[in-house]
Structures are given as structure tokens and as C-alpha cells.
Structure 1
Amino acid sequence: MLSIFDWFGYRLTMEERYRLIKKAGFSGVMILWGHRLGRGMDFRLAPEIARDAGLFVENLHAPTELQHALWEEGLSGEEAAECYLSCLEDCKAAEVPAIVLHLPGDDFAPTEQGLKRLWRLVEQAERLEVNVALENLQNLKNLAWAFRQIDSPRLGLCYDCCHHYNDAPEEDLLGMYGARLMALHLHDNGGASRSCCIQHRLPFDGDVPWARVMQAIAATGYKGVTALEPMYWDYQELPPDVFLYRAFEKAKHLDSLRGR
């Protein structure tokens, strides 16, 4: 199965967005959960609209605004924990199998209070039978710490290849955490826009070593979706349907590199 992050850019209604994703050939979507990036307060309708378009909903990406607060004492830390707990409830209600979330960056050292909050999330995930996939960013120390502290089949990795090769290419993330791999974010680096740390380009348009990446994913035994996370920042001259067709062709190439 091939999927794509739903909020890839362009001014489109949700109905049009999912119709175009399906028409391009994708079978699934990952949904940005929240009202940011102009999607409005009706974001909770997204899973139903996506399914009406014939798409599988792979995961919900939790809001990132409070990610660094999760380790903090006080109200901000509790607000972050409650936000993520709410996302788990939303996954269960919408019959979505996983959330993706960001741990604090490595400038924010883990705390006992942070560990308690993370345990609350995992225990809730186990009760609801929903996976929690932690995405690798500039947070590899915190990621390693979390995996050392909590061994649960409901807590795993969302592997982001571009963050990996932009931030820590010397680390063998899939070798270390491949057994916990739950989701993929595949996109390339470079680009003229220089937006968001020079990333979220279409695969094969930057410097990510795709053959190596896809072979490493295959070696983990991961059987899940080949999932793209590009943005239109460097492609705004393209109509959205053309952007999506290009994305789909590249997704098929990546899937073939997994030997599928």
C-alpha cells in the first residue's frame, strides 16, 4: 500500500484534497490532526471524508506546538499530555490504528514527570489498542531514553528518513529500532525554499540515499505502508494533481526498492 501525508499544501477543500490523492493512485493517507496550516476547526471530519474517497487512514499526526513541554513541570506539561491522550481517544473513535508524535528535542532533558506522562500515554494506548509512533527529529537522545524506559508493543518508531540524513546520518536508526518500526515519513532534502530545515521534497529530488534507505527498511521486516511526507514548497508551479501524480510515481519506485 502507498500513502501520503494529507496536508501537502495548496488551497483545497478536504473533499477535493482526498479525491485528488485517490485519483493519483494512493490507497491511504496520514492525517495532520489539528486546525493548523489553514485546515480549520472541522479537521475532525477528515477521517470520514478520506474514507468516503476510498482511502485508508494510516495514522493521525499529533499537534506539535507543545512537544517540548512534555517533560516540563506545571500546566504546560500537563497540557501536552492531555493533548496526546485526547489524540489517542480520537484515534479509537475514528478507528485509526496509530498516532505519530514528537518527543521534546535533545535540548530538553527528560524528567521523572515526563516519564510518568509518557507511561500514561502508553498505558492508554494499550487499553485502546492504538499504537504510539515516536518520530525521530533532533531528539535522538530522548528517543533512546524513552525506548530504554518503556518496553511496550504499543510504543514504537516513526522513521523519518530526511530528518535522519539531515540531522544524524552517522546513526543506524533502523538497525537500533527497526524491531519497533511502526510508520514511515519518506521525503527528500535540499530545495530552493529552504523551508523547515530544507526538507519535505519529493523523493529522488535531493541527496537522501534511497536505495540504502529502502533496503534498510526492508531488512527490519517491516510490512507496513510506504508513506510519503512531501510538501509543495519547491513545486508551487505545479497544479496539485500533477504534484500528486509525480509523488505517486516516486512512491511506486520506493516500494519497488523494498522488493515489493
Structure 2
Amino acid sequence: MMVGIYDWFGYDISIKDRYKLIKEAGFDTVMLWWSEGFNRGNDYQSSVQYALDAGLFIENIHTPVQDQNNLSLDNLAGERVILCYLQCIKDCLEFHIPTMVIHLPNDKYPINELGMKRVERITNQAEEFNVNVAFENLENIHNLALVLNHNNSKKIGFCYDCCHHANYAITNDLLGKYGKRLMALHLHDNGGQRKQHQLPFSGSVDWPMVMQKIVLTDYKGATTLEPMNWGYENLSIQGFLSSAYSKAKELDNWRNCLYN
């Protein structure tokens, strides 16, 4: 199987060199942060060609998250967030990217009838443009269930984040419920001061259980990490990527052994 990593993990380095180093570390695939937020800059779309030139497969884009809780608002803020998601679907079509990841609102912002109609707009455009839309688990388990249990489209699925699962909903069998609709993986650990986005084996995530559950879904996509360099600032970018790759390969080898 392939191994991948989220691209915007820290370090001040040119975009072109970033993808070269990701590939040189051994990674096969990359997930792209798709906005100018988090100091990404307004040239984020240029990352597509740089990644391809480096020999990386673009697994998915992560849509903006700053306005995620506005999905159900009957105002300009609500309309702005749905237009953003619809534009991301168009971008996936334009740049030949198969999948995009969306954060549904946190559960303290329940999705109402208007929010569900907006999800229907996302679904219709995803089907028209043949783009997968994967909704990620965070502190949104009720909203996630509402959307996935009421939407049977083959273009609508699940992005499994193991660290968010461990931190927010560990007793909820998310992969058991939605694993057959799995479209993306975010693998990271909950060590460090922020309790998230750490390299595997540095926190309390139960990795043997996580990988076994993933295997049971029959998901064939890449084993993909979503770390940040929080707490690893003493490492060079090459050192960080080397460590990330070795841990990704270890998890991927577990998957291979469990499959066989």
C-alpha cells in the first residue's frame, strides 16, 4: 500500500522544496490544505503542480475550517460557507483531485433543515462532478450521524481521524458504523501540549486497535498521517519527515500483515 502525509505540517520552506522533501522522505501521496489560511498564502493552488512534479499522488484536499460552524445559518455567513464548499468541488474537478474533506459543525451548532438542504447541494454537485466528499469526525458526532445516516450517495463518505476519535468519542464505534464509506484517513497521536497532531506512538491512541478496525473496513487507500511539527521544532524538516515516514510505514506494515 501507499503512505501519505498532510502537506502543511509546519516549517518555513518554499512550496516547491516542500514537496521535493516529502517525496525524498519516501512518501507516495499527499493531502493538500486548500485555502490561504494558517499562513498558507494565496498561492495554495500552485501546490498541485509542485506535488505532481515531485512525483506525488494528490489524495485529497482539506477544505477551509474557519467557518465550519456556520453551515445552518440563514445569513450571508451561512451562504458563504456553502459557496466555499461548492467551489472546492469545482476545484477538485479542475485539478483532477478525487476527494475533498469537510468539517461539519460542532455538535453545539446542530444542523437544521437549512443545513441539510445545503448538504444536499453539496451532494448534488459532488455527483455531477464525480468528486468524493468525506466528512471528518471531530466534536461533531451527532451532526456526522445526521448527515451520513440520511445520505446514501456514493459520493458522500467518511474521513476517519483517529486522534479526534480518541479525544472526543472513544466509546463510539465510528469505523464500525461508517467504515464501509471510508474515503480518507487522518492518522496522528494525542501526545504533546495540544493533545493532537503528534507523530504516531507519542500519545495514547491505541494503534493496534485502530489499524485492525481500518483493515476490517476493507479500505484500500493510503496510510496517511496528519501531524504537525508542534513539539518537534528541534528537528529539521528532513528529520521530521524521516521520522514521520518510518512511523507511517510501520502502521502500513501492520495493515498489510492484518490483511494477509
Q: TM-score range by the shorter chain?
A: over 0.9
1:133 aligns with 2:130: no
**Paired residue type of 2:228:** M
Structure 2: distance between partners of 1:82 and 1:95: 20
**Is the partner of 1:259 in helix, strand or coil?**
helix
**Paired residue type of 1:228:** L
**Is the partner of 2:238 in helix, strand or coil?**
helix
Q: Give the 5 Å matches for 1:1-260.
A: 1-191=2-192, 194-195=193-194, 198-259=195-256
**Is the partner of 2:185 in helix, strand or coil?**
strand
Structure 2: distance between partners of 1:181 and 1:56: 18
Deviations 1:112-145 (A, max 9, x none): 1101100000110000000000000000000000
Deviation, 1:72, is: 1.1
Deviation, 1:88, is: 0.4
**Is the partner of 1:59 in helix, strand or coil?**
strand
Deviation, 1:259, is: 2.1
TM-score, structure 2 length as denominator? 0.97
Structure 2: distance between partners of 1:150 and 1:181: 14
Deviation, 1:149, is: 1.7
Structure 1: distance between partners of 2:13 and 2:56: 17
**Paired residue type of 2:203:** G
Structure 2: distance between partners of 1:147 and 1:38: 32
Unaligned runs of 5+ in 1: none
Deviation, 1:190, is: 1.7
Aligned residues: 256
Structure 2: distance between partners of 1:80 and 1:37: 17
Structure 2: distance between partners of 1:190 and 1:226: 20
Deviation, 1:45, is: 0.7
**Is the partner of 1:252 in helix, strand or coil?**
helix
**Is the partner of 2:59 in helix, strand or coil?**
strand
Deviation, 1:235, is: 0.3
Structure 2: distance between partners of 1:204 and 1:136: 21
Deviation, 1:205, is: 0.9
- 4+ runs of 1 displaced by more than 6 Å? none
Deviations 1:180-238 (A, max 9, x none): 100000000021xx23xx10000011110101100100001111111000000110000
Structure 2: distance between partners of 1:82 and 1:38: 22
Structure 2: distance between partners of 1:109 and 1:166: 20
TM-score, structure 1 length as denominator? 0.97
**Paired residue type of 2:205:** V
Deviation, 1:51, is: 0.2
Unaligned runs of 5+ in 2: none
Q: Percent identity?
A: 50
Deviations 1:80-134 (A, max 9, x none): 0000000000011000001001000000111111011000001100000000000
